[in-house]
């Protein structure tokens, strides 16, 4: 299928909203897997069949379609006549300079899109309940193919709009009939200087699969072919090392276990380092080719263009974090002192500082805590969330045999904002619930206040809503847990959130920018060059106390996000904006109202404009105004709080 540049830019592949936390997006705020090692080894045998999970702990898919037969019936109507699907779309070909025709076409187009999204959400939820169920897999395949056909059948729309001359296009933008579509058209219009003629566009579209080869190869190597030697605990016992168990081992108080997990995992990457370097090189070269073909200044500008984010937002983030690196150095030294270590290594960074404390909660108690925590956002917000979690069954709570791992929030305009969890009751699980509930409430409010076309929102703002709710939950838990050990555990969790989401992701962002710059200068990437740069960054970020083992130098080779094109910086800007908004909301009813307005705005403006309206200027490089600097001040306060606990 041919996907045109503007099509890719101005709307998502589907209009579905799926935001993942633990598991699916390893860099998301809640990524650390706090399973105890014993739990982890038992995990595979323990999973219960889905039929044993009580109905009240399963998401309410029946609200979407009462039976699979009802889904099938709707699907067959949507599928229509196989010979000419959606003939109503084709009628408008060649007529888009006429505002009336364009308006009717867009109504039709988004109407079909909306129906297919509903079908798609049901099929993907059912599939994720049981990844081994062939019927669900087949239904998911059917609707995915239909979506694909729909995209193919409508792929001419944006190129035709882009082929109009400037006067015609401006006339459309100004026309009263098209007022509901003005922002949508404006976004397409921005692509004009970077869109090629039809033949060239077709050629570029044909290169898509080949340009994606590095990413696919990395995934195959990383997820399927690569194996790791077992991690060995202090008793000499071996523990099977996988991507899933790695984070759990890094959080273990058993230092021998976390050390061998770290060393053995990275040794496998070192063994493939030439291949992995070529894969990164292939990825970067592909981006450079597209950036040049589309006449962008550089790869960074190309990547940030769709959300109208200036390159300065990216470079200011790096500058702000770098300004505050002494705080990270102080934290590393503090960690070393509290843990009583003579040397601190990278594998000592994730272990909780208060080792003999564990905060656990039943799922019902976690729901109560999350609902109580959002009280500052007002009764309407709280009421929606309470109903969703405790009555409407948004959430699929527990693990069952063959259920998708991790956690996400997903839904569409005509569904509930469903949440998938694999809840086990530890602190990370409780925060994952708050995180996903933040996404779901964002989705719900967007849907209640925006027309279909502007109800979905980009990741740039998504992570604000989810991490804001984590701050609310933290505030609530700190107010009810007075025990010093529990408090230190919570503060540690909060500090780790900022370390892993702002400092670490900015380190990644800086590395990512550098490798693209080298490619732009024509400098070949070699394992030695990448290792040297990565070590240099780790030295800068972690400071004089850290002891950098040689394995640290290959960490870049295992990060899947380096194949997702300047993506990670959004985790850092998202949490920074959330912290800044949270600070404002604590002291001002006006700020709280603006925050609700921000959530209700969906994707009706560019993300930076939405945030600015809520009171955060993510573009600012002024330390007094930059939300990144504000987050750094918060980090500093938290360190002071932590010191009081030990």
60 contact partners, CB below 8 Å, separation of at least 6:
392, 393, 394, 416
Could you give the CA distance from residue 331 to residue 316 in angstroms, rounded to a whole number? 23
Query: Can you say how many angstroms the Cα of residue 578 is from the centroid of all Cα atoms in its chain?
Result: 15
* Residue 436 annotated to the active site: yes
The string of DSSP codes covering 385-443 is HHHHHHTS--EE-S--TT---S-EEEE-TTS--EEE-----BHHHHHHHHHHHHHHHHH
Least distance in Å: CB of 459 to Zn ion? Answer: 8
Does residue 573 touch Zn ion according to CB under 5 A? no
Could you give the CA distance from residue 258 to residue 250 in angstroms, rounded to a whole number? 5
Residue among 450 and 466 whose Cβ is closer to Zn ion: 466
Least distance in Å: CB of 255 to Zn ion? Answer: 31
Least distance in Å: CB of 222 to Zn ion? Answer: 22
Residue 374 per-residue DSSP state: T
Q: Which span (19-27, 53-61, 298-306, 576-584) binds Zn ion, by CB under 5 A? A: 19-27
Least distance in Å: CB of 19 to Zn ion? Answer: 5
Residue among 488 and 573 whose Cβ is closer to Zn ion: 573
Does residue 466 touch Zn ion according to CB under 5 A? yes
Least distance in Å: CB of 191 to Zn ion? Answer: 28
Ordered strands of the 17-20 beta sheet: 17-20, 408-411, 418-420, 395-396
Residue among 14 and 466 whose Cβ is closer to Zn ion: 466
What phi, psi does 418 have (nearest 5°)? -65, 155
Query: What's 544-603 look like in SS3?
Result: CCEECCHHHHHHHHHCHHHHCCCCCHHHHHHHHHHHHHHHHHHHCHHHHHHHHHHHHCCC
Q: Which span (183-191, 232-240, 411-419, 466-474) binds Zn ion, by CB under 5 A? A: 466-474
Contact 333, 232 (CB under 8 A): no
Site string for Zn ion, 25-54 (x = CB under 5 A): ---x--------------------------
Q: Which span (49-57, 320-328, 335-343, 465-473) binds Zn ion, by CB under 5 A? A: 465-473
Residue 233 per-residue DSSP state: -
Residue among 21 and 359 whose Cβ is closer to Zn ion: 21
Does residue 457 touch Zn ion according to CB under 5 A? no
Site string for Zn ion, 232-271 (x = CB under 5 A): ----------------------------------------
Residue among 19 and 423 whose Cβ is closer to Zn ion: 19
3 state SS of 461: helix
Catalytic residue among 201, 399, 436, 583: 436
Residue among 5 and 582 whose Cβ is closer to Zn ion: 582
Q: Which span (422-430, 463-471, 474-482, 508-516) binds Zn ion, by CB under 5 A? A: 463-471
Q: 236: alpha, beta or left, given left = phi > 0 and alpha = psi -120 to 50?
A: left
Residue 50 per-residue DSSP state: G
The candidate with the shortest Cα–Cα distance to 646, out of 332, 329, 340, is: 340
The count of residues interacting with Zn ion (CB under 5 A) is 4
Q: Which span (252-260, 310-318, 460-468, 528-536) binds Zn ion, by CB under 5 A? A: 460-468
Contact 138, 190 (CB under 8 A): no
Least distance in Å: CB of 449 to Zn ion? Answer: 21
Does residue 19 touch Zn ion according to CB under 5 A? yes
Least distance in Å: CB of 408 to Zn ion? Answer: 8
In the complex, residue closest to Zn ion by CB: 466
Residues with catalytic function: 436
Which residues are near Zn ion by CB under 5 A? 19, 21, 28, 466
């Amino acid at each position: 299928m041919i996907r045109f540049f503007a099509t890719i830019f101005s709307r998502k592949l589907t209009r579905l909203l799926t935001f993942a936390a633990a598991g699916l997006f390893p860099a998301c705020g809640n990524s650390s897997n706090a399973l105890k090692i014993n739990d982890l080894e038992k995990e595979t045998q323990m999973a219960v069949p889905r039929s044993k999970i009580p109905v009240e702990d399963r998401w309410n898919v029946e609200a979407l379609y009462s039976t699979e037969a009802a889904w099938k019936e709707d699907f067959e109507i949507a599928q229509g006549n196989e010979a000419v699907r959606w003939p109503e779309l084709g009628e408008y070909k060649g007529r888009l300079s006429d505002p009336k025709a364009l308006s009717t076409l867009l109504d039709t187009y988004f109407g079909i899109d909306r129906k297919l999204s509903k079908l798609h959400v049901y099929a993907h939820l059912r599939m994720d309940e049981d990844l081994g169920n062939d019927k669900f897999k087949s239904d998911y395949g059917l609707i995915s193919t239909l979506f694909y056909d729909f995209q193919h059948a409508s792929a001419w729309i944006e190129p035709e709009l882009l082929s109009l001359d400037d006067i015609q296009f401006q006339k459309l933008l100004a026309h009263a009939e098209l007022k509901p579509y003005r922002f949508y058209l404006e976004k397409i219009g921005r692509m004009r200087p970077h869109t090629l003629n039809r033949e060239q566009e077709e050629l570029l579209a044909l290169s898509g699969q080949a340009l994606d080869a590095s990413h696919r190869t990395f995934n195959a190597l990383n997820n399927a072919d690569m194996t790791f030697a077992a991690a060995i605990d202090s008793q000499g016992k071996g523990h099977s090392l996988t991507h899933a168990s790695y984070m759990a081992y890094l959080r273990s108080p058993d230092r021998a276990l976390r050390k061998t997990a770290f060393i053995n995992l990275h040794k496998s990457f070192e063994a493939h380092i030439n291949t992995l370097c070529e894969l990164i090189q292939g990825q970067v070269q592909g981006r450079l080719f597209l950036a040049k073909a589309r006449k962008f200044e550089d790869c960074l500008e190309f990547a940030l263009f769709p959300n109208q984010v200036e390159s300065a937002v990216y470079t200011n983030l790096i500058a702000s974090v770098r300004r505050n690196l002494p705080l990270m150095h102080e934290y590393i030294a503090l960690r070393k002192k509290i843990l009583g270590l003579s040397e601190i290594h990278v594998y000592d960074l994730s272990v909780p500082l208060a080792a003999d404390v564990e905060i656990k909660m039943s799922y019902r108690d976690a729901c109560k805590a999350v609902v109580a925590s959002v009280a500052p956002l007002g009764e309407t917000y709280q009421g929606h969330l309470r109903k969703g979690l405790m009555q409407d069954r948004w959430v699929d709570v527990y693990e069952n045999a063959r259920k998708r791992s991790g956690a996400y929030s997903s839904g569409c305009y005509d569904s509930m904002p469903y949440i998938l969890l694999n809840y086990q009751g530890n602190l990370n699980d409780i925060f994952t619930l708050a995180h996903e509930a933040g996404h779901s409430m964002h989705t719900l409010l967007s849907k209640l206040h925006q027309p279909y076309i502007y109800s979905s929102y980009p990741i740039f703002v998504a992570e604000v809503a989810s991490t804001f709710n984590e701050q609310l939950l933290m505030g609530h838990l700190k107010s009810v847990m007075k025990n010093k050990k529990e408090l230190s555990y919570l503060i540690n969790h909060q500090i780790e959130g900022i370390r892993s989401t702002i400092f670490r992701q900015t380190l990644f962002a800086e590395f990512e920018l550098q490798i693209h710059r080298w490619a732009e200068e024509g400098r070949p990437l070699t394992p030695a060059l990448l290792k040297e740069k990565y070590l240099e960054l780790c030295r800068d970020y972690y400071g004089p106390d850290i002891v950098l083992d040689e394995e640290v130098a290959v960490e870049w080779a295992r990060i899947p996000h380096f194949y997702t094109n300047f993506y990670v910086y959004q985790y850092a800007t998202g949490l920074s904006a959330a912290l800044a908004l949270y600070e404002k909301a604590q002291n001002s009813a006006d700020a709280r109202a603006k925050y609700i307005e921000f959530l209700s705005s969906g994707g009706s403006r560019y993300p930076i404009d939405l945030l600015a309206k809520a009171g955060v200027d993510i573009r600012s490089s002024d330390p007094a105004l930059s939300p990144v600097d504000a987050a750094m001040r918060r980090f500093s306060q938290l360190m002071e709080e932590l010191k009081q606990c030990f």
